[in-house]
Structure 1
């Protein structure tokens, strides 16, 4: 089982980014979408990205031409997959759309082709059943933008062959990324299991403690060493992504997050964050604007419940052998930019205070009941 030729289905932000990093590693890539206008736009973005790398002396002009020519944009699905070894599906997060795509693939691809879905939330085992060969199906969750983000979560389904896991892990290494294996197909995988519930918890904290968004975000940034505030990060990620991930995660695991209605309101109002000019915050420029967060604002709030919710989900992942503590910290460092491990944050804020806060909240809402690992935390 050797991967030489790759097909990427979907030429959006994730699709064309995955195509680019694969082509940069020397793979021949077919980039497929349903309309030429989508492909033209994607290839322009790839050309722009390669030009930037040339200007920064990270690649030569000759390299840029070779990489660009390693990618063949195509509409015809049969042509895109006839000689492929690996199909990376990066179509929108809609189960029915993915069902349609895999149904078409079942009719035309050879039996030994590996299917890899770039889904961030949909269950891999469920998706694998849409194909004729679930043993050849795996999740490869890249992070946005794929050209810059080093983390790739590798998620085997219930029936995934170990050889496929090994081959995909080698592939991720070959494109200069860090694979972290999510050993069980759980809701949210690793990073989203931590991140998505925190967006909801930040909103509950606002309501409960009567503080502003920028105060909470300042506390998260300066007291917890996050690269940016929770609301700021949600706006950067996109409230459409947050909403869809929240829905899918809670659909499959009622204990993973405590839904706050504000996420759905923003989504339905098309207030999706930076991409629409307004989400939790307002943005006036096309380039990404940083929110004014300060240490003075941070001093006004103790984000105990935010750390508690993160620690509860982190403990659940380790306790259920979804990943090791080392892999958890690596994934959160590379995927969320966390400079401090979750349990080190508990120590920083005081284990007893975090535990007491969770117990107090747990009296009103079972969701907050502390994990046994935290109850025994030193």
Structure 2
């Protein structure tokens, strides 16, 4: 399976980012959207990004022009797919919308084209089964922004061929990214399965302990070795993204997430985080602001319950043969920026104490029942 020509469906932040990294690696790229104005805006952003790389002397001016010339914006769907080897779909995370797009694509796409969806939470198998080629369909989840983030989750559906998994891994490496394979099409895949439930758990921890957001975030940053606090990270990601992922994951597996009403409340109040000026925290300007977190504040909160939550979901992935420790650590390092391996941090806390903490919480709510893999480590 040779990939030379790529069509990216959707020209938003992720779409034009994926188009840019593909063109930078020598692929011919068609960027497709439903209106020319969306494409014009996307091409402007790509040009700005390439100019920035030229000014930083990462690429020459000539290279910048060549890369830009490899991306062709097209509105007409049939024309956009005419000679496509790999189609990467980056339309919004709404299952009905994706199904509608694939129904249109199926009518005009060449026989040789393989399908990839950049979804971060929707089941690959379910989307694949709406198409004429489920064995030639795969999940390829780039992280935002694709130009900077190294991690790409590769998610085979139930019918995806082994050849396509290998081809996709090679494609990801060819665009200078690091693939992590989620071996089973489970809700949230790897990173979101660990990250999204943790936001809810932090809100419960605030209820249980009376700790402040800043104390919890400081402990997450300095004791659990995250690049920023969990509430801060939620604000950075956007409450709209977190709320939507929560609904998707929880509707498919009640065991993955214990939804805290605060997330839905913030979403309903349009307090979406950094982008709207308020989420868990308030922000004053357009510029991305960091919350003042300190090691002093970190000492005031013990994040063992949060650690238990993320470890329990990691253990679930291992027990259910969706991943292994090495791949999970790679995903957390590249996808969430953890500065120390998760299981190493857990050893410092004592696995027995973590399991006991989960068992204590499970007496109130079965959701916290420790996974057998975690119990085996204590």
What TM-score range do you get, normalising by the shorter chain?
A: over 0.9
CA distance in 2, matches of 1:257, 1:343: 21
Residue 187 of structure 2 contacts residue 193 of structure 2 at CA under 8 Å; is this kept in 1?
A: yes
- Taking the aligned partners of 1:330 and 1:344, their CA distance within structure 2 comes to 13
1:339 aligned onto 2:335: no
1:274 aligns with 2:274: yes
Deviates more, 1:22-31 or 1:271-280: 271-280
Q: In structure 2, list runs of 5 or more residues that go unmatched.
A: none
Aligned to 2:64: 64
1:11, distance to aligned residue in structure 2 (A): 0.6
| C-alpha distance in structure 2 between counterparts of 1:139 and 1:283, whole Å | 35
Map 1:246-285 → 2, pairs under 5 A:
246-285=246-285
The answer to whether the Cα contact below 8 Å between 1:314 and 1:342 also exists between their aligned partners in 2 is: no
1:297 correspondence with 2:302: no
1:369 Cα offset (Å): 1.1
**Structure 2: how far apart are the matches of 1:221 and 1:146?**
24
Distance 1:312 1:102 in 2: 35
- 1:245 maps to which residue? 245
Alpha-carbon shift at residue 82 of structure 1 (Å): 0.6
Name the stretch that deviates more: 99-108 or 259-268.
Answer: 259-268
1:365 and 2:365 correspond: yes
Q: State the Cα distance separating 1:111 from its structure 2 match.
A: 2.2
In structure 2, the partner of 1:91 is 91
TM-score normalised according to structure 2 size: 0.98
SS in 1 for 2:377: coil
- Helix, strand or coil at the partner of 1:224: coil
Residues 1-378 of structure 1 correspond to what in structure 2 (within 5 A)?
A: 1-378=1-378
Matched residue SS, 2:160: coil
Confirm or deny: 8 A CA contact 2:318 2:373 kept in the other structure.
no
The Cα of 1:166 is off from its aligned counterpart by: 1.0
1:84 Cα offset (Å):
0.6
Alpha-carbon distance in 2 for matches of 1:290, 1:365: 34
Distance 1:373 1:134 in 2: 32
| 2:204 alignment partner, SS class | helix
Equivalent residue of 1:26, what SS? coil
3-state SS of paired residue (2:223):
helix
Between 39-48 and 349-358, report the one with greater CA deviation.
349-358
CA distance in 2, matches of 1:349, 1:288: 33
Tell me if structure 2 keeps the 8 A contact 1:305–1:357: yes
- Measured against aligned partners, the alpha-carbon deviations of 1:128-155 in whole angstroms (never above 9, x if no partner) come to 0111110110000000000000000000
Question: What are the Cα deviations for residues 270-293 of structure 1, in whole angstroms up to 9, with x where unaligned?
Answer: 111111111111111212110110
When structure 1 is superposed on structure 2, of 345-354 and 211-220 the one drifting more is: 345-354
Report the Cα distance in structure 2 between the residues aligned to 1:372 and 1:20, rounded to whole angstroms: 43
Deviation string 1:293-346 (CA, Å, 9 cap, x unpaired) is: 011110100001100011101111112211121111101100000122222121
The TM-score normalised by the length of structure 1 is 0.98
CA deviation vs aligned residue, 1:251-275 (integer Å, no higher than 9, x gap) = 1111001001111111122111111
2:16 touches 2:43 (CA, 8 Å); kept in 1? Answer: yes
Kept in 1, the 8 Å contact 2:19–2:31? The answer is yes
Contact 2:153 2:179 in 1 (8 A): yes
SS of residue in 2 equivalent to 1:376: helix
Contact 1:23 1:29 (C-alpha < 8 Å) held by counterparts: yes
Partner Cα distance (1:284, 1:44) in 2 = 28
Partners of 1:299 and 1:256 lie apart in 2 by: 29
Mapped partners of 1:150, 1:76: distance in 2 = 31
CA-CA distance at 1:117 after TM superposition: 0.1
8 A Cα contact 2:319 2:372, kept in partner: no
SS in 2 for 1:139: strand
Where does structure 1 differ by over 6 angstroms across 4 or more consecutive aligned residues? none
Residues in 1 aligned to 2:355 and 2:108: alpha-carbon distance in whole angstroms:
55
Checking the alignment, whether the CA contact within 8 Å between 2:135 and 2:159 is kept in structure 1 is: yes
